[in-house]
Chain A
Amino acid sequence: MKTYDLVVIGGGSAGLASALGAYDQGIRDILILERDKELGGILQQCIHNGFGLIEFKEELAGPAYAERFVDLIVNNKIQYKLNAMVTHMSNDKVIEYVTPSEGYVTIKAKAIILAMGCRERTRGAIAIPGFRPAGIWSAGTAQRYLNMEGYLVGKKVFILGSGDIGLIMARRMILEGAEVLGVAEIMPYSNGLPRNIKQCLIDFDIPLFLSHTITRIEGLDRVSQVEVSQVDENFRPIKGTEKYFDVDTVLFSVGLIPENALSEEADVEIHPRTRGPIVNESYQTSVEGIFACGNVLHVHDLVDFVSLESRKAGIAAAKYLKNELKPGKTFNCVAKDGIGYIVPHKINVENVDKSLECMFRVTKNVKNVALTIKKDGVVLRTVKKRHLAPAEMEKLVLTKADLMDCKESISIEITEV
């Protein structure tokens, strides 16, 4: 069985940046396993621009952002395999994968970085009654068909969910000649960026129905109609508010779920809120030598943040391989009132250089509040915030001094100003 120092599962934005992070620390025996026919991951289908403002200080289209990372991988001669689907991974870091050229292969890794990304929630996950005809797609699948394969999946479209992928697909399909009759969002607000509401919906006069959801899909062979109803504060459809739209296609943009089937197989502990692995300050999971970063860890809104996080995970994996990660007591990062989750979930201050970036999300839209950070229940400091939204990931920088002498936990909560 061939052994590698570092195996990276996934050749998208997280996998590429983490491999480069480890490479920069002197690790050379790296293998990236990618299931698609080229590197770059989901960026290749995200042809809109707005990527790279932090990483490259310019606004790039998704494929352009990917190409810069792929070029670095190629120039540094980091090994990768395409069409390589990992089928199994164990907690002693044995990986099994299949490729058309090699067949079934078993390898061993001294360290693994999980960079499998996430997948889209489906109609099945949100239980909509009606028929099961053709013409129902997750927004990202329709995006790949349109932007990479060159197929428009429908002519008259209704979109459920106002996440950014749904909004961006509304504009793309209109530009390619389809008609988008509306977007329904079950929440009273959109989770998409305001700039996308403007550029993708308002620019094209596409109505956005807030506090509405699809309550039925009609059509035997192909979608023929959707029934859309208003919902009450408990998200229950209100009788008598039904509207009908004659469409041939329904797109679902109803959230993303980290892709952790392999992680679970290797006994990696999963966080109930993020649905990604529980990691420490070094992005190491509950299984020693297995690290995680990018959307497999928690769903990001900006690829720039994926690259930043993944590079750090790669550096940490290199330290592990060089026996430079220090053992020691860990304490927890605890999400309290108004905070959904914090990554990392645990901290061993011995491995924190000067400071540590904690990423977190709030649970609802709030204005003019304070974030209160507590160490072992005692207020460390408060930070005023004019605006916080679940759709926008927030960052909190804790210095080594902040973290020193912490025994039980660091917590974040939202408090009144």
Chain B
Amino acid sequence: MEKKDMVCIVCPMSCKVTFDLAEDGSITKVEGHTCPRGENYVRKELTNPTRMLTSTIKIEGAFYDRLPVITSSDIPKSKLFDVMKEINKTVVKAPVKAKDVLISNVCGLGVNIIASRSMQAVENK
């Protein structure tokens, strides 16, 4: 049994949530949070922490060389760098529309990499 604490990031209150973490990963004695979201956050963060990922992808034929992209939903935190590798391997061609799927089912996670914005094709940069 280990006493741990975590700052809840759901709202600006930033509650310091304390809890006991058992050997098997289960948590008890969750205290310090002022609303139920604090406990949910701690449980998810300990079992399967996920994050949205935003980055850029190389684009050809547009007036910038980079197109901003975002994951269609949150992905496991441990997969951030694997997904970055896939994104950095990919090159797309203008025109692109916002929400276009640029990489589908990235790293087999069931999540797509989509365009954050539209980018027109241009003749001469």
Contacts and interface: CB of A to CB of B under 8 A. Distances in A.
Contacts of A147: 56, 66, 68
Interface residues of B, number: 27
A126 B115 CA distance: 38
Interface in B18-53: 51-53
A149 B64 contact: yes
Given A37-B63, A63-B116, A147-B68, A199 B51 contact: yes
Contacts of A194: 7, 9, 12, 14
A256 to B, nearest CB: 20
A150 B56 CA distance: 8
A59 B71 CA distance: 12
A392 interface: yes
B12 A387 contact: yes
A375 to B, nearest CB: 29
B103 interface: no
A354 interface: no
Interface residues of A, number: 33
A199 B116 CA distance: 20
A146 B65 CA distance: 10
B75 interface: no
A146 B68 CA distance: 11
A150 B66 contact: yes
A148 B7 contact: no
B70 interface: yes
* Most central of A48, A62, A146 by chain B CB within 10 Å: A48
Contact of A63 (B53, B77, B117): B117
Interface string A147-165: 1111000000000000000
Given A193-B12, A199-B9, A387-B12, A49 B98 contact: no
A176 B53 CA distance: 12
Contacts of B70: 47, 49, 61, 64
A13 to B, nearest CB: 14
Contacts of B55: 47, 172, 175-176
* Most central of B9, B13, B65, B77 by chain A CB within 10 Å: B9
The 6 closest A-B pairs by CB, nearest first: A63-B117, A47-B68, A195-B9, A61-B116, A194-B14, A150-B66
18 contacts: A47-B70, A49-B54, A49-B70, A61-B68, A62-B68, A62-B116, A63-B117, A64-B116, A64-B117, A148-B64, A150-B56, A150-B58, A150-B64, A172-B55, A175-B53, A193-B12, A198-B7, A392-B12
Interface of A: 37-38, 44, 47-49, 59-64, 66-67, 146-150, 172, 175-176, 193-195, 197-199, 203, 386-387, 389, 392
